Amino acid sequence: MPKPVDALDYLAHPGKHPAAGVCVLFADESFLKRHVLGMLKEQVLSGEDAEFSVTAFAGGEVQWRDVADALSTRALFGGGRNVVVIDEADDFVSRNRPTLEQYVARPGSASLLVLDVKQWPATTRLYKALAESGLQIECRFPPPARLLKWLASRAQQEHGAKLDPAAAELLAETVESDLGLFDQELAKLAALAGAGGTITKELVSEAVGGWRAKTAWEMLDAVLAGETRKALVQLDHLLLGGEVPIALLAQLSSNLRRFAAATRLIDQADRARRRITLRDALEQAGVKPFVMGKAEGQLRRLGRDRGRQLYRWLLDADLALKGSSSSPVRSRLELEELIVRLSAPPPATGPRPLSAARPR
């Protein structure tokens, strides 16, 4: 059975993957989905009024009869095939699976149906039917080596700048796992580097987030390393520099929520008497491969007991900073209390440390 096409492979050579009667864009990388959809339209539409041949529906609301009408109705303007796009189509697919299976067997030759979904299990009849007669494109965030290659290529081809390998690695560590955010940062860095210039590691360090972002990440590292005094000093620098407490909490929370999710996954595996490694749990929780080694050590030190309380601690701090502790003095105390909770030494006895869940 043919495998789905990787989105980056499709965008590099769209001619090798002609649009069939039904195309599925699956996974959760919206930047890739947007660009793949644009390329699909280029393949099948023609003329200045091409967009008149495109109809888009919200998957949670549309009924099959409306989709069928759009597939069979030609626009008065535009050229090429008729394109019907179902956004957020997971629910639509669930409600209309038998009908879609019938349509995939005999799709309209003058139309292209595009389904944008997050989940696309390979065990369904619909998946197997489309593997033979349709086009399935996986729009997922790329692995580390592929990401670095894409960053260099994107910087050169789209933004006219050379990306130094060390700069690419630092950028990959700094920016959230979202290709749209990466592209925005590349555009900014290319403008700073100048026409035909080189984006260096130093430029990335200075321009992406600035000193406040760097200090905030260092503060989080200090917290998770148990260096309470260092973390409190960095908090003081950030607040004196004009950083907003609620913004600092948001930056801390972005990583700590992943640790909370990983802890929950390990607890669930324990209850189900199945094995999950700490690395697998962190990966499923969204931790980047570039920082996986550091994250494993941080979560082990944090421990399972504190990992279980992270969601509640972060929620309590968020509500306090937006309510009873919104004043400068109270907000500082709220953040200091959270830092002390997280960076305090683990108890000599008590709950066992967080590690891979093992079957009992």
CA angle 296, 140, 310 (to 5 degrees): 35
Q: Which of 143, 94, 95, 86 is nearest to 119 (CA)?
A: 94
Indicate the number of domains in the chain: 3
Residue 322 lies in a domain: yes
| Structural contact between residues 330 and 324, judged by C-beta atoms closer than 8 angstroms | yes
Here the CATH number for the domain that contains residue 283 is 1.20.272.10
Domain match, 80 and 12 both: yes
Here the CATH number for the domain that contains residue 155 is 1.10.8.60
From residue 319, alpha-carbon distances to 239, 242, 315, 343 in Å are 19, 21, 6, 21
Q: Which of 35, 31, 78, 30 is nearest to 54 (CA)?
A: 78
Residue 234 lies in a domain: yes
* DSSP H stretches of helix in 106-209: 125-133, 144-159, 165-174, 179-193, 201-207
Domain match, 73 and 192 both: no
Here the CATH number for the domain that contains residue 85 is 3.40.50.300
Domain match, 272 and 178 both: no
Residue 228 lies in a domain: yes
The reported pLDDT for the residue numbered 323 is 87
pLDDT digit string (tens) for 129-144?
999 889 999 999 999 9
Domain match, 228 and 293 both: yes
Domain match, 106 and 9 both: yes
Domain span at residue 282 reads 211-343
| Structural contact between residues 185 and 208, judged by C-beta atoms closer than 8 angstroms | yes
pLDDT digit string (tens) for 72-115?
887 555 555 789 999 999 999 999 999 999 999 988 778 999 99
The two structure tokens encoding residue 245: 């407490």
Residue 90 lies in a domain: yes
Residues 25 and 52: their CA atoms lie apart, in Å, by 22
pLDDT digit string (tens) for 213-253?
667 778 888 999 999 999 999 898 888 877 788 888 887 88
Residues 281 and 244: their CA atoms lie apart, in Å, by 32
| Structural contact between residues 181 and 175, judged by C-beta atoms closer than 8 angstroms | yes
Domain match, 25 and 44 both: yes
What beta strand segments (E) does the chain contain?
5-6, 22-26, 45-46, 54-58, 79-80, 82-87, 111-116, 135-138, 162-163, 198-199
Across 12-34, average pLDDT: 93
Instruction: Provide the phi-psi class of 86: left if phi over 0, else alpha when psi is between -120 and 50, else beta.
Output: beta
Domain match, 190 and 216 both: no
pLDDT digit string (tens) for 170-208?
888 877 778 988 998 899 899 999 889 999 998 988 777
